[in-house]
């Protein structure tokens, strides 16, 4: 099987062989539909497959089509027939799963299934989430389960109230995504700043960067407490390039001190790191095949 992880910023691809990735590589996510189609055609030539293509993908999916919840991320994905397009290119069956849901399943399996109520949170281009409850991955109606990036945050963006690309006000994604960190830093510093520089500043203890990362960590800690109160999660894995940036998980752990002890769920860095989506979708499809 070939596994693909399509995010708002990058596309990763690998062969899935005996429960492991081989020949992994990644390319930037093109901004326009024609460029994106060209990139997919090129990947299909480099990674031919007869058996199945497993895709972890940003957006909500019913298994055939894909919808961008945040319409600012991929403008041409509005009930886009993604499975049909990829089947045409690879000429094999295609399975689609939300990227953070795939990652949650990957972390559950690779943690030896010991945390039967687990949430994965990706802090990346957006903020995504996946839930394993009572040992089962929750996909939900139209694949929406776990879209915690679009829960309203009581901790607001530092550059003022913001309507998210999903249409809601002050979503977690407008506070804690890589896009949001860069936007807040740019607006408050008065010049262009990206998420990588925000973290460099945070680690160098620069005032503005510390404020932005601390505020984002408070919002994530609150989300974790809210989800614990709603669903009884027992373990949280943090991934995505922002979640994996040195200092971010420690900032979330510190921010949890503002919560009463009952709501401080254990948090750790995703053990699969940047491969959680690829490995997760591989495990998920293998799991479905065994249960058929
Ligand atoms: P995707 O959303 O496609 O899965 P990533 O997980 O790489 O991709 O997330 C992309 C976001 O992470 C962008 O906002 C980017 O600026 C930010 N980012 C990438 N590398 C780092 C880093 N080392 N430290 C902090 N932020 C990063
Ligand atoms: C957004 C949403 C989620 C996704 C999350 C993380 C879109 C296109 N995606 O909240 O489905 O799981 O981002 O995705 O609306 P990433 O692109 O940051 O990896
Ligand atoms: Zn939103």
> Per-residue pLDDT for 292 more than 90?
no
Q: Are residues 89 and 215 in the same domain?
A: no
Mean pLDDT (whole number) for 37-48: 97
With a pLDDT cut of 70, the percent of the chain lying above it is: 100
List, chain by chain if needed, residues with CB within 6 Å of any ligand 2 atom: 7-8, 58-60, 68-70, 73-74, 98-100, 122, 124-128, 147, 149, 173
Please report the pLDDT score of residue 291 as a whole number.
79
Pocket-testing residue among 69, 97, 106, 277, ligand 2, by greatest number of atoms within 8 A of Cβ: 69
What is the DSSP secondary structure assignment for residue 163, as one 8-state letter? B
25: helix, strand or coil: strand
Number of domains in the chain: 2
Atom of ligand 2 nearest to the CA of 8: 17
Provide mean pLDDT across the span 216-231. 98
Q: What pLDDT, on a 0 to 100 scale, did the predictor assign at position 160?
A: 97
Residue 10: which pLDDT band, with cuts at 50, 70 and 90? Answer: very high
Task: Tell me the residue range of the domain where 63 lies.
Answer: 2-101+274-291
| Tens digit of each residue's pLDDT (9 = 90 or more) over 149-192 | 999 999 999 999 999 999 999 999 999 999 999 999 999 999 99
Query: In the prediction, which pLDDT does 75 show?
Result: 87
| ∠ CA 104-17-8, rounded to 5° | 45
Condensed to tens digits (0 to 9), the pLDDT of residues 127-137 reads 999 999 999 99
202: confidence class by pLDDT, cuts 50, 70, 90 = very high
Q: How far is the CA of 162 from the centre of ligand 2 (A)?
A: 17
Q: Which two tokens stand for residue 196?
A: 């990588």
Considering the domain architecture, whether residues 278 and 178 belong to the same structural domain is answered as no
Can you give the CATH number for the domain in which 247 is found? 3.30.420.40
| Mean pLDDT within 207-221 | 98
From 76-80, 134-138, 224-228, the region with the lowest mean pLDDT: 76-80
Which run of H or of E encompasses 17? strand 10-17
User: Do 126 and 263 belong to one domain?
Assistant: yes
Helix (H, G, I), strand (E, B) or coil at 215: helix
246 is a domain residue? yes
Residue 248 lies in a domain: yes
- What is d(CA 261, CA 257) in angstroms, rounded to the nearest whole number? 8
The per-residue pLDDT of the chain, averaged, comes to 97
């Amino acid at each position: 099987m070939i596994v693909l992880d399509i995010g708002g910023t990058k596309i990763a691809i690998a062969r899935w062989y005996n429960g492991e990735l081989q020949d992994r590589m990644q390319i930037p996510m093109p901004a326009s539909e024609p460029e994106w189609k060209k990139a997919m055609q090129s990947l299909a030539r480099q990674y031919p497959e007869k058996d199945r293509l497993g895709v972890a993908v940003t957006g909500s999916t019913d298994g055939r089509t894909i919808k961008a919840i945040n319409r600012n991320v991929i403008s041409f994905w509005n009930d886009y027939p993604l499975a049909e397009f990829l089947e045409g290119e690879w000429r094999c069956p295609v399975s689609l799963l939300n990227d953070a849901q795939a990652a949650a399943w990957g972390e559950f399996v690779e943690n030896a299934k010991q945390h039967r109520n687990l949430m994965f949170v990706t802090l990346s281009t957006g903020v995504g989430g996946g839930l394993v409850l009572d040992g089962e991955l929750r996909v939900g109606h139209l694949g929406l389960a776990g879209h915690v990036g679009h829960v309203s945050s009581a901790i607001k963006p530092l550059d003022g109230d913001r309507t998210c690309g999903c249409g809601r006000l002050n979503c977690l994604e407008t506070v804690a995504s890589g896009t949001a960190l860069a936007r807040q830093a740019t607006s408050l510093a008065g010049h262009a700043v990206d998420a990588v520089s925000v973290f460099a500043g945070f680690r160098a203890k620069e005032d503005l960067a510390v404020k932005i990362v601390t505020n984002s960590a408070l919002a994530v800690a609150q989300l974790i407490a809210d989800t614990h109160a709603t669903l009884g999660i027992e373990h949280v894995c943090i991934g995505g390039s922002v979640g994996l940036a040195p200092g971010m998980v420690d900032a979330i752990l510190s921010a949890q001190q503002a919560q009463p002890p009952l709501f401080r769920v254990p948090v750790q860095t995703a053990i699969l790191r940047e491969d959680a989506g690829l490995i997760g979708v591989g495990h998920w499809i293998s799991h479905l095949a065994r249960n058929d």
